[in-house]
C-alpha cells in the first residue's frame, strides 16, 4: 500500500466485512488528518453490523446510513496534517499541532438551535453532524481519518 492510500475494515452489508483500500484524504481548511491508534466499538456499531442502519431513530430527525460503512467512531490518534495555513484549537480552546495525541468527539452539535441553547443532549439537535463531517463515509475505522478541529480534545501530555 502506498502513502496515498489507507486501509479500512468496511462493512459492505449486514454481517459482512471486507478490507478495502481508500485514497488518503487531504485535509481541507478547518479539518485535521488524524492517524487512528485506537478505536472503540459501541452498541451502535453492533446494531449496524446486524443491519440496523438508522441513526437517531427516536430523535425526530433519523438518518439512514447507507452501505458500505466504515465503523468505529470513538477514536484516539495523533494529528498527521492540518488543513489550511491556520492555527486551530480543540474543543476546550487548547492549540493543536501535528503530533498531538487527540480524542475525536463522535458528534458535533450546532450550538445554535433551541435544544443546544437549553442543554438538551446532543442527539436532540436537528443539525448534529456525525464524526468525519469533512469526509465520507461517516463511520471510520481507518488508519487515517479526517475531522474538524471542534471535534478534538487533547488526550496526551503536552
Q: What is the mean pLDDT of residues 82-86?
A: 81
CATH of the domain at 33: 3.90.180.10
Partnered with residue 76 across adjacent β-strands are 38, 103
Q: What is the mean pLDDT of residues 133-143?
A: 36
Structural domains counted in the chain: 1
pLDDT tens-digit readout, 87-115? 888 777 788 889 998 887 777 778 899 99
Going from the C-alpha of 153 to that of each of 1, 29, 55, 91, 148, the distances in angstroms are 30, 19, 24, 6, 11
Name the residue with higher pLDDT: 155 or 84: 84
Which pLDDT score, from 0 to 100, does residue 50 have? 95
**Which among 2-6, 83-87, 97-101, 153-157 has the top mean pLDDT?**
97-101
Which pLDDT score, from 0 to 100, does residue 142 have? 41
Output DSSP code: residue 69.
Answer: B
Torsion of CA 50, 51, 55, 61, to 10 degrees: -150
Domain range holding 141? 5-154
Q: What is the mean pLDDT of residues 39-51?
A: 86
Calculate what percentage of the chain has a pLDDT beyond 70: 80
The C-alpha cell at 31 is: 479539518
What residues have CB less than 8 Å from 47, skipping those under 6 apart?
Answer: none
Look at residue 15 and tell me whether its pLDDT is greater than 70.
yes
H or E element, residue 36: strand 31-40
Amino acid at each position: 500500500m502506498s502513502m496515498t492510500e489507507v486501509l479500512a475494515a468496511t462493512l459492505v452489508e449486514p454481517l459482512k466485512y471486507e478490507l478495502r483500500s481508500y485514497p488518503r484524504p487531504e485535509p481541507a481548511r478547518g479539518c485535521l488528518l488524524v492517524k487512528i491508534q485506537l478505536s472503540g466499538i459501541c452498541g451502535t456499531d453492533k446494531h449496524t453490523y446486524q443491519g440496523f442502519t438508522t441513526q437517531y431513530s427516536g430523535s425526530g430527525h433519523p438518518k439512514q446510513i447507507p452501505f458500505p460503512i466504515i465503523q468505529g467512531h470513538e477514536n484516539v490518534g495523533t494529528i498527521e496534517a492540518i488543513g489550511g495555513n491556520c492555527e486551530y484549537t480543540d474543543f476546550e480552546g487548547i492549540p493543536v499541532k501535528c503530533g498531538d495525541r487527540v480524542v475525536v468527539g463522535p458528534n458535533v452539535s450546532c450550538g445554535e438551535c433551541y435544544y443546544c441553547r437549553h442543554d438538551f443532549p446532543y442527539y436532540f439537535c436537528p443539525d448534529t453532524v456525525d464524526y468525519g463531517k469533512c469526509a465520507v463515509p461517516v463511520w471510520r475505522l481507518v488508519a487515517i481519518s479526517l475531522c474538524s478541529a471542534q471535534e478534538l480534545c487533547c488526550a496526551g501530555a503536552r
